[in-house]
Amino acid sequence: HHSLAHEAWTLLNIDLNATNGHLATQDAKAAMQLYIKYKDDEAGKQNACSRLLNTQPRITPARAHNYNYEGVCLAGYYKQMCRCNRPSLVND
């Protein structure tokens, strides 16, 4: 599985992390564009899968901020970087 940000950037050339913050409306629009583009195109889906596997994901906003933004822990799924000592969101 790939993140929506990776799929949007690789397949649609849309940067979902370009603004200062997360916009759910941009996510929804990108998801619908991906669905419409590939829903009836099996060959296109296979090509898209290959492109996604062969394209390195860009740096995430969490990683760019060292998993801590204005005192908020962004490492819920990366317990090695967590500094808040809350339970991890990952099953061990």
Taking only the tens place, the pLDDT of each residue in 46-70 is 999 999 999 999 888 888 889 998 9
> Quick one: which H or E segment has residue 72?
strand 72-73
| This prediction's pTM | 0.73
Categorize the per-residue pLDDT at 21 as very low, low, confident or very high, splitting at 50, 70 and 90.
Answer: low
**Cβ atoms 10, 52 nearer than 8 A:** yes
Which pLDDT score, from 0 to 100, does residue 92 have? 59
List the one residue out of 56, 57, 79 whose CA is nearest residue 67.
79
List the one residue out of 14, 59, 15 whose CA is nearest residue 37.
14
**Bridge partners of residue 73, in order along the sequence:** 68
In angstroms, rounded to a whole number, what is the distance separating the alpha carbons of residues 14 and 70?
A: 26
Q: Is the pLDDT of residue 18 over 90?
A: no
